[in-house]
Structure 1
Amino acid sequence: MAYHVPVLLNESIEGLDINPSGTYVDLTFGGGGHSRAILQKLGKKGRLIAFDQDEDALKNALDDKRFMLIRGNFRYFRNFLRYHGVEQLNGILADLGVSSHHLDTAERGFSFRFEGPLDMRMNRNAKLTGQKVINEYSEERLANILKLYGEVKGAGRVASVIVRERSKGSIDNADQLLEILKPLIPFKIQNKVLAQIFQAIRIEVNQEMESLKEMLESSVKSLLPGGRLVIISYHSLEDRMVKNFFRYGNVEGTDSMDLMGNRNVPFEQVNRKVITPSDDECIENNRARSAKLRIGRKL
């Protein structure tokens, strides 16, 4: 089984507009699909630095003198680069969300399709797990996470039932959680709502929104003028943040003007219209269906 099939591969590599002698960063290495494609475009003087916080990804490291793989959360990528003497980049690529490897590995706890512990950590050294979120968060905090990160309708009721049931005994695995949740959800939309609930918990566990915000802000300082920022997102929360950042210069989507009344934006949008996978790609890889690609050029 492939570790992860890269989504929008040709479109994202095209979006980087690769300079063969440039320095590039792949912030979400995973199975190395995007990294391999970048290396094919680089010349002898080119350089690629990749990041992944999951130790499993290190097994996929590429044997190439132009390549370096760093284990770390991409929210800190600029600090890692400066430690290695790299100040300026020609391009940054990030394929957000959870990989096929994560979803298909039962013991990682990312999917409700398998029996497994409620782990959900991309970095297994992190202290916060899905189990802690479910068993230790207050009802109000749990409801807020389900509503904000999963856009779950009736989030308050779901949180209330979880809190009631955990008082009878710890909820430690996906099967226990499903047993609690399924009676609350109409059968026709069960898979959709369960996916939203698991997504919300996963985002909280991995602090994905905070990490994305910090990464986007660091990209401004790290890219050379004309450098490209290429982001593939999979749900509306991520995509909204990226879209706002390119359009307004911040993830909140608020106007910031300079003294002359011009909008303060660090990037020009290369693709005014969001790029989505072709029908053929969605048939070959059904996890590509929700992907959205946005490209920015540093001003």
Structure 2
Amino acid sequence: MLTGFLGSGKTTILSALLRNPGGERLAVLVNEVGELALDHWLIEKVDEDVLTLASGCVCCSLRGELYGALERVAALEPTRIVVETTGLADPAPILHGLTTDARLRELVRPAGVVAVVDALRAEDLLATQPEVLAQLEAADRVVLTKADLAPQRVDDALALVRGAAPGCEIRFVEEALGDPKWIFSAPPLAKLLDGDQARRWLGHGTLSVHGHAEPFRTHSFESEHAVDLPILELWLRLVTQLDGPRLLRIKGLVEDRASGAMFALQAAGRSITPARRLERPPAGVRGVHMVVIERGMGEAPAARLMESLGAAVGGALDVSARRPRGTA
């Protein structure tokens, strides 16, 4: 999935990938919002494997149409399908649909999310556009564009993007396009390598809920023991369906008992990002580390939520569930 805010340079990158696909046979699905679809005309086509989905945003209400488009694209037998989202898309619901909709699951397997960020506008966009934060939250890798137009802003832009996408590898667009395989083989959270970085990642995501009149609360849960990942995934699906509007964010690093691997879990509202296996777990991080950010649940429902998490993990063996640690 290729995502990024309006004007970030997604279509330019897509055109370059079609010219130099790194040995892949690409098919492209361009999603546009509005009655007049224009972006697909801006793509310099190498062949005709470009379809336009123009009746809305795939992160909102187009799952049926998305299935039909992916079915047509899959019939071309590509090795990769690139979905270019609209600039206003939140990738999380799209990923959720790709992994929970049985028909979509049979067609494709999500291989990674690449977010494109305009270095010229990074500071303003991150401060004012929640979609940009959502795109970076879902990203496996980040491509920074337009750095050559304002070299004096590059260091600040890099720092901001690193803060908004902890654990992600970032490249400037020239370097990224010189190595298409880097774009197509995006390992999740590849730079989340030590305990400090893991804690920053777990604590990240509260920025977008600041400034509201009603306070939010953050709850933390830790266990030293590995768990059965499918049970925790089931817990996540259940609680987000029951209390999604009040659950602003759930993030976790989870050691799976069966495989011994570490996975990243994330949800926002009722949208769940598929569990992402980390190539290398952060040093010194074992067991389960979960953070829940909620607004308006009340003491008793929040306590029951955290108790249910403890039950999903497997009981009270060396488990600590901390009290809320912040309001705003």
TM-score, normalised with respect to structure 2: 0.29
Higher helix proportion: 1
